Structure 1
Amino acid sequence: MIFREVKREDIPQIQFVRNSVKENTLSDPNLVTDNDCAEYMFERGKGWVCEIDGTLVGFAIADLVENNIWALFLHPDYEQKGIGRKLHDMMLDWYFEQTTTTVWLSTTPETRAETFYRKSNWNAVGMQGDEIKFEMTKTDWEAYKEKATQLS
């Protein structure tokens, strides 16, 4: 399992992973273009991937422009292996090294993603359209990491 920063040539595999998910699916896969991915990964923020045997199985992208987690997705065959947690933690560590501004994300209610974010110390602050909006402060992130360190 290799975790690393995203490269431009990862975009086709990122699109494959994004469109393979069973929850939080895109109504139209053409809504997120390769150019959108590149903009969020290299101009607006940064991205990370996990690859196994040369195959990209998950990715995460943070957006510093809108202080948003733009993406955190895993191929369904690779869930429950700690990959999402590692990508999440790498992304938030980097985000809060860049800024102290609260970060937000939204996800579909009653999904594994909602459960994951609640367990990860994200605070539900309301709805954004049909999705639950979560926020994370730098203080909350540091407290979560401290607690996780004490438990391990």
Structure 2
Amino acid sequence: MMIREARLEDIPQIQLVRNSVKENTLSDPSLVTDADCEEFLFERGKGWVCEIESRIIGFSIADLKKRNIWALFIHPDFENLGIGRKLHDIMLDWYFEQTQQNVWLGTAPGTRAEIFYRKSGWQEVGTHGKWEIRFEMTYNNWKNRKT
């Protein structure tokens, strides 16, 4: 298993992972295009992938422009192995090296993602859109968790 920065040629496999998840699924997979992935990976922020034997099985993407976590997904066959935690931590370490501004994300209530973010120290601050919980992480909370 290897975690590394995402590259342009990773986008097709990133899309496969994104569309394989059982929770927080896209109502219409065509809503997130390869061009969207490229923009978020290389213009708005940065991303990381986890691969096993050249197969991407998870990824995370932080968006500096809107100060949010755009994506953190693991292929269902590789859940509960600590991969999400590693991708999460690398992404937040990088984010808070760039800025000390709060970062936010939205996720559906009643999901494993909601539990994961709560256990990771994210604070619920309201709602995002119609159905999602909005969480925030502050620079100080992140740094204090790391010491």
Q: Distance in 2 between matches of 1:120 and 1:50?
A: 19
Quote the sequence identity (%). Answer: 68
Counterpart in the other structure of 1:81? 81
1:123-142 to structure 2, matched below 5 A, reads 123-129=123-129, 130-142=131-143
Superimposed CA distance per residue, residues 63-111 of structure 1 (whole angstroms, 9 cap, x where no aligned partner): 0000000000000000000100000000000000000000000000000
Gaps of 5+ in 1: 147-152
Counterpart in the other structure of 1:61? 61
Q: Are 2:86 and 1:72 equivalent residues in the alignment? A: no
Shift of 1:46: 0.2
Which amino acid is 1:89 matched to? D
Report runs of 4+ in structure 1 exceeding 6 Å deviation. none
Aligned to 2:72, the other structure's residue is in SS state: strand
Superimposed CA distance per residue, residues 111-132 of structure 1 (whole angstroms, 9 cap, x where no aligned partner): 0000000000000001112100
Which amino acid is 1:7 matched to? R
Q: Distance in 2 between matches of 1:137 and 1:127?
A: 17
Counterpart in the other structure of 1:122? 122
Q: Distance in 2 between matches of 1:97 and 1:142?
A: 11
Superimposed CA distance per residue, residues 31-84 of structure 1 (whole angstroms, 9 cap, x where no aligned partner): 000000000000000000000011000000000000000000000000000100
1:40-51 to structure 2, matched below 5 A, reads 40-51=40-51
Name the TM-score, length of structure 2 as normaliser. 0.99
Shift of 1:12: 0.3
Counterpart in the other structure of 2:2? 2
Q: Are 2:32 and 1:32 equivalent residues in the alignment? A: yes
Q: Distance in 1 between matches of 2:61 and 2:17?
A: 13
State how many pairs are aligned: 146
Q: Distance in 1 between matches of 2:122 and 2:82?
A: 18
Q: Distance in 1 between matches of 2:127 and 2:65?
A: 21
Q: Root-mean-square deviation (CA), in Å?
A: 0.4
Counterpart in the other structure of 1:23? 23
Q: Distance in 2 between matches of 1:88 and 1:27?
A: 24
